[in-house]
Structure 1
Amino acid sequence: MAARARGLCHIAFHVPPGQPLARRLQRLFGFQPLAAREAGGWRQLALRSGDAVFLVNEGAGPGEPLYGVDSRHAVPSATNLCFDVEDPDAAVRALAAQGCRVSVPPASVRDAQGAATYAVLSSPAGNLSLTLLARAGYRGCFLPGFRPVPCVPGPGWVSHVDHLTLACTAGSSPALQRWFHDCLGFHHLPLSPGEDPELGLEVAAGSGRGGLRLTALQTPTCSTVPTLVLAESLSGATSTQDQVEQFLARHRGPGLQHIGLYTPNILEAAKGMVVAGGEFLMPPEAYYQQPGKERQIREAGHQLRLLAQQGILIDGEKGKFLLQVFTKSLFAEGTFFLELIQRQGATGFGQDNIRALWQSVQEEAIRSQEA
């Protein structure tokens, strides 16, 4: 029996004291402080843009940060996904009976604005844990135990989380798919017609450089849980690490590689973030010279010159298009990054864009090694 996730409450990060993630999310990407808490050696700050909420846990206290666990991971990373469920107590009993490891048993937290109950599960995806939360009727701005942080309205570049991508070890996607199905009710979302759920979508990088295997998962349509994408490397005749292998090495194992943030206007958002000091990966020069690319861009109602200036990728046909742009890593270790995504009718992920991202990450890695 799965614990049916009804929505994504927030995504939590663990960073050491002084790490600038919270400041960068505000200054570069338009997130605004929402609520804060300091206790037990932890400084916890929730930031929001639209319905996307990030919780930055800074420090390493003797206990656990509220609503999560301290993974004591070697590098800063996104460590926890918090989902809204109807009854954490019943969910934990059912999941524990299935063999799921419960890191924090159901606990209640209360303040003047109401109460919430939560529990934390360990996942098989590296250092990623899952929080199951019930907060019906809570009247505060975030969660019990946090104080509100006064702020001015942000630029509104981001409306919600579109998808979450996990970098996985080769061959682990089928087992992870079954785990997320059994625990939270995720099921296979085909990215191409007739796709085998066990094999996912294979995207070759070309010229014997391996490629990616992507397996997309979603919850029932009545929920607001973002799509979950499992990414693993395909073997290829190459002596260099690809982007997934680089993540696994630098992150010291599997984990959340990037978060896709939905924006209603990707040109405006990307331009605003660059003006604020944000940095995006630039696709290979040949990307915009591909046969039919300019026609595709015009059909989508955009100008090639403007997309190229920001490094925005586009894919799609028959009136349905997908636009994406990817930030450079938010951490010095070269691991986690953000994606801006705008959908004009498209629901999947463009294979042409995946190849362009693949090459962009590879070229950025080469430049960083040469610097």
Structure 2
Amino acid sequence: MAAPVRRLCHIAFHVPVGQPLAQDLQRIFGFQSLAAREADGWRQLALRSGDAVFLVNEGSGTREPLYGLDPRHAVPSATNLCFDVPDAGAAAQALAVRGCSVLVPPVSVRDAQGAVIYTVVSSPAGNLSLTLLERADYRGPFLPGFWPLPSATGRDWISHVDHLTLACTPGSSPTLMHWFRDCLGFHHLPLSPGEDPELGLEVAAESGQGGLRLTALQTPSGSTVPTLVLAESLQGTANGQDQVKQFLARHRGPGLQHVGLYTPDILKATEGVAMAGGQLLTPPDAYYQQPGKKNQILAAGHEPTRLAGQGVLLDGDKGKFLLQVFTKSLFAEDTFFLELIQRQGATGFGQGNIRALWQSVEEQHTRGQKAR
């Protein structure tokens, strides 16, 4: 591997002036302000919930924003993943040897709390760039160049980032998997026994037309990097509006489709998000009427009517369960969204829940077509 990553430091977004992402993350999802910076036409605001840190870059300056770059993408987007590395200079050199574009050569930034070195490189995943950060000697709450912000007592809904899902063009998953493996030290995480890493896991739609191919990647034990999931559409979707194709069209290319945020209490988190005005994706009516679903929910220690009332999906067996709920897009362009996830021993991503999400997107698309 060229530049093994050890930890996800933050996820960066680029939005135009006045876009309410930062306010929504605080008001709806319980994120707290961490640090801010205003310079060169940019307002950069770092927000935290547990160990999950989002950096919202608002504006369009003449110079690049600190710790990233402006991709000048057509729509608001999650544009950058920042990873901790032991040596940013060596990482940039090793990736350049492998043919990666070094978009920002290694640069040192210092303040009274210490110094960091960072570099920004391109990735093969659309407009998503990667910041590699060396910060072993920095003692501040975020990063040099930012001033700390006072934070009220936060809501404890979210503890960390569970996974990152990239929407990929059909057939591109093997190329991306090899890149993340060879360049950053990720390796294949089987989602089902005997899964071929080159093919991933195929999840067919209930209609039998189309479906998704998922390839999960993780870093070696000892790191705290979230699982990376590559998602692409299978051939045969009837109307071309599955969630991956929809993202590719509206985002205008591949990119970070959603972030899975781990919550220790999904019912509490979902109720709080809904009460704050968050919009959640509604599962199809038939989901909770599936044969055995009620018993499955009871076996996991939950009340079926409460899960149904809050739109929480549950999948799993043999004493291991996964609970999920998906938000609607955080942007008017109907692209990036969040997932709240709670694991009761399960390590996968809920094949049954993926089908339910698929069907929900299809039903909403059908309703939208009829309303026109």
TM-score normalised by length of structure 1: 0.99
**Partner residue, 2:154:** 154
Give 1:175 shift: 0.3
The letter of the residue matching 1:88 is A
The separation in 2 between residues aligned to 1:110 and 1:320, in whole angstroms, is 46
Which residue pairs with 1:362 in the alignment?
A: 362
Structure 1 CA distance, aligned partners of 2:249 and 2:189? Answer: 28
RMSD: 0.9
Q: Tell me what 1:7 maps to.
A: 7
Counterpart of 1:318 in structure 2 is 318
Counterpart secondary structure, 1:89: helix
- In the alignment, structure 1 segments of 5+ residues that lack a partner are none
Matched position secondary structure for 1:349: coil
Preserved contact between residue 2 and residue 181 of structure 1 (Cα < 8 Å): no
- Quick check: 2:83–2:133 contact (8 Å CA) kept in 1? yes
Question: Which structure 2 residues correspond to residues 157-236 of structure 1 after superposition, within 5 A?
Answer: 157-236=157-236
The amino acid that maps onto 1:159 is S
Letter of the 1:297 counterpart = I
Give the AA of the match of 1:117: I
Partner of residue 32, structure 2: 32
Provide the rounded CA distance (Å) in 2 between the counterparts of 1:140 and 1:333: 36
Q: Which amino acid aligns with 1:215?
A: T
Alpha-carbon distance in 1 for matches of 2:23, 2:223: 31
8 Å CA contact 1:110–1:145 kept in 2: the answer is yes
Distance in 2 of aligned mates of 1:54 and 1:207:
37
Q: Which residue of 2 aligns with 1:278?
A: 278
In the alignment, structure 1 residue 342 sits paired with structure 2 residue 338: no
Residue 247 of structure 2 corresponds to 247
Per-residue deviation at 1:208? 3.5
1:328–1:237 distance in 2 versus 1, CA, 3 Å: closer
1:328-352 CA distances to partner (integer Å, 9 max, x unpaired)?
0000000000000000000111110
Partner Cα separation in structure 1 for residue 333 and residue 94 of structure 2: 38
Letter in 2 for 1:349: F
CA deviation map 1:247-272 (0-9, x unaligned): 00000000000000000000000001
Structure 1 residue 2: Cα displacement: 2.1
Q: Deviations over 1:316-368 (max 9, x none)?
A: 11110000000000000000000000000001111100000111122223334
| Equivalent residue, structure 2, for 1:267 | 267
CA deviation profile, 1:43-90 (whole Å, cap 9, x unmatched) = 000000000000000001011110001100000000000000000001
What residue is the counterpart of 1:100 in the other structure?
A: 100
Alpha-carbon separation, structure 2, partners of 1:278 and 1:137: 39
Letter in 2 for 1:156: D
Contact kept, 8 Å, 1:10 with 1:55, in 2: the verdict is yes
1:143-164 Cα offsets, whole Å, 9 max, x none, are: 0000001120211100000000
Query: Is this contact kept in 1: 2:211–2:237, CA < 8 A?
Result: no
Contact in 2 for aligned 1:251/1:335 (Cα 8 Å): yes
| Residue matched to 1:128 | 128
Report the Cα distance in structure 1 between the residues aligned to 2:217 and 2:239, rounded to whole angstroms.
Answer: 31
2:63 match: 63
- Residue 143 of structure 2 aligns to a residue whose secondary structure is coil
Taking structure 1 as reference, are residues 317 and 103 closer, same or farther at Cα in structure 2, changes over 3 Å only?
A: same
Counterpart residue type for residue 365 of structure 2: A
Q: Which amino acid aligns with 1:281?
A: L
Question: What amino acid does structure 2 have at the position aligned with 1:299?
Answer: A
Query: Any idea what the Cα deviations from partners look like across 1:261-314, whole Å, max 9, x if unmatched?
Result: 000000000001101111100110000000110000001000001100111000
- Alpha-carbon distance in 2 for matches of 1:292, 1:227: 30
Alpha-carbon distance in structure 2 between the residues aligned to 1:2 and 1:202: 30
Cα distance, 1:237 vs. partner?
Answer: 5.0
**Residue ranges of structure 2 left out of the alignment (5+ in a row):** none
Contact kept? 1:328, 1:337, Cα under 8 Å: yes
Q: Given that residues 33 and 151 in structure 1 are in contact (C-alpha distance below 8 angstroms), is that contact kept between their aligned partners in structure 2?
A: yes
Number of residue equivalences: 371
For 1:367 and 1:263, the matched residues in 2 are separated by: 31
Of residues 238-247 and 148-157 in structure 1, the stretch that sits farther from structure 2 once superposed is 238-247
Distance in 2 between residues matched to 1:173 and 1:63, nearest whole Å: 33
- Does residue 143 (structure 1) correspond to residue 140 (structure 2)? The answer is no
Q: TM-score, normalised by structure 2?
A: 0.98
Moved more, 132-141 or 284-293: 132-141
Letter in 1 for 2:24: R
